């Protein structure tokens, strides 16, 4: 067929006109589905169905246009009309011109309606966001829907060095929202896993277990900052409201509270005045002090010895500029605690205690201050009742604070409250589902409770979240040891990234496998390289081997050197064979754990 004749035939049979008209009307239908259906609460699958049907119908419409003609006598096959016209020699009537113009009218009107509906939708969304500056919408949320994750705000300042500011602001929004008692707020570790990752809101919501997402941008220029915040329905990605804040840096805390209040109003939860006060107590009026704190916090979150020390330098600057900056003291206390534990520099621990006590004195209603003091009292000073009380107070002030929940879960298990410990550990994971520490602690609690399958699953999940973390394969090995599965124990032990813990679990794995020579060599290596940091783990190996005298010798060393591993004495399954020995009972008495109801 001659291409010229083919295209002429397409034109004669009105295929072009049908294509244009179908495209315009199809676009109109898609606009109605995407702009109107959500307001009528029509499910998203209906919208997708409309789009699919429009796409599928397009080639069908073209085939019908080619094969059939619409005539005054009804729909006729094109071939029949062609043969009849050629025999009669008829020409097209004059009315055909108006029919041609009808196609144009359909196309123009359809296009106008499509464009109009598109801009009405955009205008309505924009108008709604501006109206909600004063009256945020109330989302019809069931209790299960009252949950939110603050995704990392994007740094649009043009300078990568300002990343600490946008990250810090994101975390402060998490802290502000965590003050809302009725709202489940996902912790920083989980939310920040979606930084620089392009995933659909529905996927993020499902992974984090939340119904809403708060995201946005930060542009910091000189002494001014612009924040654009968007509240999004996670299930369908629909924007619930958008607000833009242009402020001076000194007003940054007021902006945080405005955003928190807007979220609270939108989700029908209450931001109580007393809780707002706790955030204000922790804050500073000094832009310079706040800037130094954010830089310190940036390094603190990297969670390694070198960066803890860098964090302390910036926290020092913050407290020098503003001696009443409570949150800076609280976080510096945590940094000192970690430095003391990781470096065995015990001179860091009195500094941790001093900073925690200072933070509580400055801001008695600050959750982070009580959490820091609770950590020091329990893990550093072994004042268990006081530490537990402070951590319970931290959770009472801010029920959704992930740090308070995680630390509380850890201390409860050491006191032998296993039911409560498991419940608290699961809650900590729910609040920070993609964070390594709560997931690893859940594995610990489940292992202690003898729920080996669940413990193994939780431990593997923790290792997936942070493969390079110290102790990320410890509980997989311990589960295998309890099962008597030497091969699995050895395989997991070889994957442990921390050299000290790897020596420990290798000594256990070789013993369970029955390889006495390898087990003795691994234990000798552990003692030679870990006697100053891993005395308690050495005692565990001897206990599993059934060498009770050696086990008690190293437990005493662990106690004398204030090894934090000794805190597991009361509930450690690996020490089960020692519990009937009077020496075990005497050592437990020395620990002076509070009585368990």
The count of other CB atoms within 10 Å of the CB of residue 87 is: 8
pLDDT of residue 138: 40
Strands 239-248 and 224-233, bridge-based pairing: antiparallel
pLDDT of residue 580: 95
- CATH superfamily for 143-271 is ABC-type transport auxiliary lipoprotein component (3.40.50.10610)
Tokens encoding 492: 């997991």
pLDDT in tens, 406-441: 889 889 999 999 999 999 999 999 988 988 889 999
pLDDT in tens, 385-408: 999 999 999 999 888 787 888 889
Domain boundaries of the chain, sorted by first residue? 3-131, 143-271
Rounded to 10 degrees, what is the CA torsion of 222, 224, 225, 226?
-120
The count of other CB atoms within 10 Å of the CB of residue 594 is: 14
Task: Look up tokens 């679990």; give the residue.
Answer: 505
pLDDT of residue 92: 44
pLDDT of residue 355: 97
Beta-bridge partners for 221? 224
pLDDT of residue 169: 82
Please report, in angstroms and rounded to a whole number, the separation of the first and last CA atoms in the chain.
94
Q: Give the Cα separation of 196 and 152 in Å (integer).
A: 9
Q: Give the Cα separation of 268 and 287 in Å (integer).
A: 33
- Per-residue DSSP letters for 61-79? HHHHHHHEEEETTEEEEHH
- What beta strand segments (E) does 234-310 contain? 239-248
Q: Give the Cα separation of 464 and 446 in Å (integer).
A: 18
Would you call 122 helix, strand, or coil by DSSP?
Answer: helix
Question: What is the Cα gyration radius of the chain?
Answer: 33
Cβ neighbours for 388, distance < 8 A, ≥ 6 positions apart = 374, 378, 408, 411, 412, 415, 594
Strands 224-233 and 212-221, bridge-based pairing: antiparallel
Beta-bridge partners for 512? none
User: With 0-12 CB in 10 A as exposed, 13-18 as middle and 19+ as buried, what is 71?
Assistant: exposed
Are 92 and 71 within 8 A, CB to CB? no
Give pLDDT tens digits along the chain (597 positions): 556 566 666 666 666 677 777 777 777 777 777 666 655 556 666 777 778 887 887 788 767 766 666 555 555 565 555 555 544 444 444 444 444 555 555 555 655 555 555 555 444 444 434 344 444 444 434 434 588 899 998 888 877 777 888 888 888 888 778 777 778 889 888 888 888 777 888 899 999 999 899 998 988 887 888 888 888 988 888 888 888 888 887 777 677 777 777 777 776 665 444 444 445 555 677 888 888 998 998 888 777 788 899 999 999 999 999 999 999 999 999 999 988 877 777 789 999 999 999 999 999 999 999 999 999 999 999 999 999 999 999 999 888 787 888 889 889 999 999 999 999 999 999 988 988 889 999 999 999 999 999 999 999 999 998 888 888 999 999 999 999 999 999 999 999 988 889 999 999 999 999 999 999 999 999 999 988 889 999 999 999 999 999 999 999 999 999 888 999 999 999 999 999 999 999 999 999 998 765
- For 178, 187, 278, 539, the CA distances from 284, given in Å and listed in that order, are 19, 23, 12, 48
- For 136, 262, 391, the CA distances from 243, given in Å and listed in that order, are 10, 9, 36
Task: Look up tokens 């982070």; give the residue.
Answer: 368
pLDDT of residue 402: 78
**pTM of this structure:** 0.68
Q: Give the Cα separation of 398 and 455 in Å (integer).
A: 28
- Per-residue DSSP letters for 500-559? HHHHHHHHHHHHHHT-HHHHHHHHHHHHHHHTTT-HHHHHHHHHHHT-HHHHHHHHHHHH
529-563: b or e for each residue (b if 16 or more CB lie within 10 Å)? ebeebbbbbbbbbbbbbeeeebbbbbbbbbbeeeb
How many Cα neighbours within 13 Å face the side chain of 5?
Answer: 2
Which ranges in 363-417 belong to alpha helices (H)?
A: 367-375, 384-397, 402-414
């Amino acid at each position: 067929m001659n291409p010229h004749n083919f295209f002429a035939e397409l034109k004669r049979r009105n295929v072009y006109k049908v294509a244009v008209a179908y495209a315009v009307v199809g676009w109109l239908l898609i606009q109605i589905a995407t702009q109107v259906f959500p307001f009528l609460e029509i499910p998203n699958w209906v919208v997708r169905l409309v789009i699919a049907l429009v796409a599928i119908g397009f080639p069908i419409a073209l085939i019908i246009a080619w094969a059939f003609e619409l005539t005054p006598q009804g729909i006729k096959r094109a071939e029949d009309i062609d043969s009849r016209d050629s025999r009669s020699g008829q020409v097209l009537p004059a009315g055909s011109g108006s029919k041609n113009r009808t196609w144009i009218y359909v196309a123009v009107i359809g296009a106008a309606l499509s464009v109009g509906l598109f801009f009405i939708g955009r205008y309505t969304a924009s108008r709604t966001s501006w109206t909600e500056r004063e009256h945020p919408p109330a989302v019809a949320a069931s209790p299960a829907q009252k949950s939110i994750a603050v995704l990392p705000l994007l740094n649009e300042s043009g300078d990568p060095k300002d990343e600490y500011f946008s990250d810090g602001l994101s975390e402060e929004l998490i802290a502000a929202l965590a003050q809302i008692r009725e709202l489940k707020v996902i912790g920083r570790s989980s939310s920040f896993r979606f930084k620089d990752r392009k995933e659909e809101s529905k996927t993020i919501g499902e992974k984090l277990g939340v119904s809403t997402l708060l995201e946005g941008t930060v542009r910091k220029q000189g002494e001014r900052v612009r924040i654009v915040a968007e509240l999004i329905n996670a299930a369908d990605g629909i924007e619930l409201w958008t607000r833009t804040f242009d402020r001076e840096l000194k007003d940054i805390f007021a902006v945080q509270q405005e955003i928190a209040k807007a979220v609270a109003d939108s989700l029908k939860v209450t931001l109580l005045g007393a809780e707002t006060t706790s955030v204000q107590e922790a804050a500073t009026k000094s832009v310079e002090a706040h800037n130094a704190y954010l830089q310190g916090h940036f390094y603190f979150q990297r969670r390694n010895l070198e960066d803890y020390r860098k964090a302390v330098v910036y926290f020092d600057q913050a407290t020098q500029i503003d001696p009443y900056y409570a949150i800076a003291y609280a976080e510096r206390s945590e940094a000192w605690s970690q430095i003391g534990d990781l470096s065995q520099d015990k001179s860091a621990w009195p500094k941790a205690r001093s900073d925690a006590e200072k933070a509580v004195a400055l801001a008695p209603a600050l959750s982070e201050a009580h959490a820091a003091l609770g950590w020091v009292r329990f893990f550093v000073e072994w004042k268990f009742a006081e530490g537990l009380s402070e951590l319970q107070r931290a959770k009472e002030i801010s029920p959704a604070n992930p740090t308070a929940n995680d630390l509380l879960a850890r201390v409860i298990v050491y006191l032998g409250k296993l039911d409560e410990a498991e419940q608290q550990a699961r809650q900590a994971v729910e609040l920070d589902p993609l964070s390594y520490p709560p997931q690893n602690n859940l594995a610990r609690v489940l292992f202690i409770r003898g729920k080996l399958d669940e413990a193994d699953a939780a431990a593997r999940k923790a290792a997936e979240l942070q493969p390079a973390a110290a102790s990320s394969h410890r509980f997989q090995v311990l589960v295998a040891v309890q099962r008597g599965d030497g091969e699995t124990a050895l395989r997991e032990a070889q994957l442990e990234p921390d050299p000290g813990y790897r020596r420990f679990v290798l000594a256990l794995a070789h013993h369970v496998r029955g390889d006495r020579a390898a087990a003795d060599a691994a234990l000798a290596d552990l003692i030679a390289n870990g006697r100053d940091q891993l005395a308690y783990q050495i005692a565990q190996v001897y206990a599993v081997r059934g060498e009770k005298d050696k086990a008690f010798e190293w437990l005493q060393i662990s106690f004398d050197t204030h090894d934090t591993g000794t805190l597991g004495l009361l509930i450690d399954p690996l020490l089960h064979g020692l519990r009937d020995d009077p020496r075990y009972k005497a050592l437990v008495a020395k620990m002076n754990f509070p009585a368990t109801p």
